[in-house]
A and B are shown apart, each in its own frame.
Chain A
Amino acid sequence: MIVAGLVCAYTSTAQAGPEIESWQAASGARVLYAASRTLPMLDVAVDFPGGSSRDAPEKIGLASLTLRMMRKGTSSLDENRISEELAGIGARLSQRFDLDRSGYALRSLSDKTVRDNALEILQGVLATPSFPADVLEREKSRTIAFIEERSIRPGVIAAQTFNKLLYGDHPYGATRTGTPETVAALNRDDLVSFHRQHYVAQDAVVTIVGDVSKQEAQRIAEDVTRRLPRASEPLAPLPPVPAMTESAEVVIPHAASQAHIYIGMPGVRRGDPDYFPLWIAGQILGGGGMTSMLNEELREKRGLTYSAYSYFSPYLLPGPFTITLQTRKDQAWEALSVARTTLEDFIAEGPTEQQLQAAKRYVIGGFALNIDSNAELIGYLAMVGFYQLPLDYLDRFPEQISKVTLGEVQDALRRRLAPAKTATVVVGPTERP
């Protein structure tokens, strides 16, 4: 019965999978395309390896500021014209930014005149941003205010302290938008040079989903990358993530009513051989569906929290494995103890066969939900393109999950999480009782 359900769900999912095509543009950019001709709209995303991990230690915040400034003026349009032109055709331009990646995504109606206008603007933003000095000063000031406002929020303090514990001085440990001091010191030359180095055609990943033919997609990919800078040499690889040498617990008092708790360690990278067993382990321990072990122990049994989650965040290098929860401050130590015990038992014993099967049914049965809109589909395709995963990654995802055995999960937990040192951050209470 269970097996039949699995097979059935998987088969229909696979049949519904979109057809993905990929090629290289003349500029050297990698292109991924999936047609979706039902709605008269088009999504185009262009990503680069210009995420926060590309910031030098004394220039933290440069990557983020460069990206945001790119839409604040190009060689032919000022910031107001860019916004007015886009609004006038109902197009939307949004930024994408994380540890590894930076880029812009355009959503437009697929009518040829409309989309050509929108793409022309996207092309200018990517290739010929002007970084006007006056606007830069304004944006720096806004950024600093934003950083300062966030710097006193307990959740932000907890997350930043957690990243620092996990990654130390490695770029993955730095705050993504920078500090008031580093942002204040950035100048226009920094942005120009960051753009020239990181927004290069050879490293660009163009993802196109929507109501255009393959031929049209080919022309779009050529157009949006043609004027991009060319790299004279490949981008230097990121330094490896150092192993944590000791477990650490940091307690930071805060006036808020709730404590914010983070527990974790460096986890998996994209393409990691243990990715699937660990990913499903994270799902069982603290994933969605209101059925996870952490949810059961902390929320359903004890009413300690509104939200408790665990998840792996895969990046080019091992991204964090994170357990996070919030609870009334005077319950912090009880909640922490429950979360830790749950984690330790889980690492030691692994899930039960029943839990593994239930998690597989959740992930596989619901896989179609992850790509049921163009917005979600383009997100997956961009990820596949950037991390150079196999083109059939999406089609094979349910199959990969279904193949994971209990032994593989236990083995991966034992090898990857058990020996690792853990970082714990508690923001809220003064000290352990």
Chain B
Amino acid sequence: MILFCLNLVNTLKGRLCRSLFAGFVISTAALAADAATSSSVHSRALSNGLEIFVKVDRRAPVAVSMLLYRAGSIDETNGTTGVAHVLEHMMFQGTHRVPGGEFSTKIAEAGGRSNAFTSEDYTGYHQQLHNSSLELSFELEADRMVNLDLTEASFAKELRVVMEERRQRVDDNPRALVYERLHSTMFMAHPYRTPVVGWMNDLENMRLSDARDWYDTWYAPNNAVLVVSGDVQPEQVFALAEKYFGPIPAKPLPMRKPQAEPEQNDIKRVIVKAPARMPTVAMAYHAPALRDIENDWEPYALSLLAGVLDGHPAARLERAMVSESRVAHSVSSHYDGIRRGPGAFYVNVTPAQGKSVDDVERVWREQLALLIAGGVSEDELQRVKAQVIASQVYSQDSVFSQASQIGRMRSLGLPHDAALTMTGKLREVTPDQVRAVARKYLIDDRLTIAILDPQPMAQVGEAGLTMTDQAGSGSK
């Protein structure tokens, strides 16, 4: 999953919203929940369709409030890619009742932290506050669900900010470019082919009316989930939610079409030329996503397969490719299958000095063949499961992640306590099932390979630039 945020949280706080969801979706903390989690979750639905979940944690006098809309880049259409994320930014530009930057000022003056994120599947807004300020969060969040004041001036300015964000996160980041191209190559029909932040040309041509249409279409209580975690009283939270969100009417929502990806029938390759020193190989296999948490088994097996390959520094790939054959400087794998659209299984390798992308691709194939021929051992699997189980407990340490876990599951249409069920299901996976999904899904007909082809600096930039060492060209 790729997330874009309203702001890069500064280094003092160390709360990079990027890192909370990114990466190893099933195999680490994002999955986790324990028995205590689900039992202490209180839920309610308002008559306008807004779902509310409350998770009590009394360790500190804080509250996290998170509102997620089931609208992300998956719901965008050609020509307006990035609009979900642009609207997320516009949500901080003022309403008819709380104009300009007053939203941020009010939250900050209450000692609150506020941010937002947009992913492929949903858009989230969150505040972390002293528990005495929860009402302020609801008041402001409910206000901007309906009263957003979209003006040409703030839109033009914020678009420029978003274009800077794209430059910062993607255009000047070779590895992000590789993943952008990987997705746009592996998907030809499904909207996962477009980047969450949007194509630059779409941003350049976006109009205020595009943002307004998006807001009018998707921002409604019946398309949202509200989650609160922390030292709060559930009944009070429900009463506050009724007071502020209750009067907002529901809207009819457009039909969401599956836009299923046609079956791929051969390997796809794409080369990305960008300034870098080391090449990298990013591979993605089409794989199923989790739909029926009780009866599906393949997504759980794929998740453990990722752990067997790369769950710890002595796991198969790291050991074989980095420690022993030393064909790679680094390797990683993960399965992304808890999402609204199709799933994918990723393997990323950076070749060691003197090794080529062909070398690492060959060794990866050897490792895969070895796994399919010999299977995985009960010991290997047990280590991965132990990590999953411990991660359940660790994930409860963060008040924020408790809220985001619940919100994420519901936004994807899964039960709020799906994480708990999933943990149980992960424990049941057998070595044979892991081997079976590797054999079935990690095949060339499902594979897309994106290769970062490193370019020397002088040839990628603007004409006339010469790059030298940092020490060489400085001037006072």
Contacts and interface: CB of A to CB of B under 8 A. Distances in A.
Contact of A148 (B105, B165, B277): B277
Interface in A150-170: 151-152, 154, 157, 160-161
A338 to B, nearest CB: 14
A345 interface: no
A291 B107 CA distance: 10
Given A41-B393, A362-B111, A327 B164 contact: yes
Nearest to B455: A255
Interface string A21-40: 00000000000000010111
A373 B398 contact: yes
B185 interface: no
Interface string B293-321: 00000000000000000011111000100
Interface in A333-370: 358, 361-370
A95 interface: no
A248 interface: yes
Interface in B264-298: 275-278
Interface size class of A (residues with CB under 8 A): 35 or more
A86 B9 contact: no
B161 A299 contact: yes
Nearest to B36: A39
A306 B9 contact: no
A318 interface: no
A367 B111 contact: yes
B205 interface: no
A79 B62 CA distance: 41
B312 A254 contact: no
Interface size class of B (residues with CB under 8 A): 35 or more
A79 B312 CA distance: 11
Interface stretch (B126-134, B362-370, B427-435): B126-134
Contacts of A15: 61
A149 B312 contact: no
A182 interface: no
Nearest to B383: A87
Interface stretch (A137-145, A218-226, A233-241): A137-145
A136 to B, nearest CB: 13
Contacts of A373: 397-399
A138 B275 CA distance: 25
Contact of B275 (A255, A299, A311, A313): A255
Contacts of A142: 322, 329-330, 352
Nearest to A2: B109
B111 A309 contact: no
Interface stretch (B341-349, B416-424, B464-472): B464-472
Interface in A266-311: 286-291, 296, 299-307, 309, 311
A363 B13 CA distance: 11
Contacts of A361: 108-111
Interface core residue of B130, B132, B311 (most chain A CB under 10 Å): B130
B39 interface: no
A44 to B, nearest CB: 14
Nearest to A366: B111
A197 interface: no
A146 B387 contact: no
Contacts of A256: 171-172, 275, 461
B151 interface: no
Nearest to A296: B101
Given A87-B312, A327-B164, A358-B105, A303 B157 contact: yes
Contacts of A157: 470
Contact of A303 (B6, B7, B160, B323): B160
Contact of A251 (B109, B133, B164, B474): B474
B460 A368 contact: no
Given A258-B164, A303-B157, 9 more contacts: A79-B314, A141-B326, A253-B473, A303-B159, A303-B161, A303-B164, A306-B162, A306-B165, A313-B11
Interface of B: 6-13, 57, 59-62, 92, 101, 104-105, 107-114, 128-130, 132-133, 156-165, 167-168, 171-172, 230, 275-278, 311-315, 319, 322-323, 326, 329-330, 352-353, 382-384, 386-391, 393-394, 396-399, 457-458, 460-462, 465-467, 470, 473-476
Interface of A: 8-9, 12-13, 15-16, 36, 38-41, 79-84, 86-92, 107-109, 135, 138, 141-142, 144-146, 148-149, 151-152, 154, 157, 160-161, 248-258, 286-291, 296, 299-307, 309, 311, 313, 326-328, 358, 361-375, 430-431
27 contacts: A9-B111, A80-B323, A83-B315, A87-B383, A87-B386, A89-B386, A138-B323, A145-B329, A149-B276, A149-B277, A152-B467, A248-B476, A251-B474, A251-B475, A252-B470, A254-B457, A255-B461, A257-B167, A303-B159, A305-B164, A306-B164, A309-B10, A309-B11, A311-B10, A361-B111, A369-B113, A373-B397
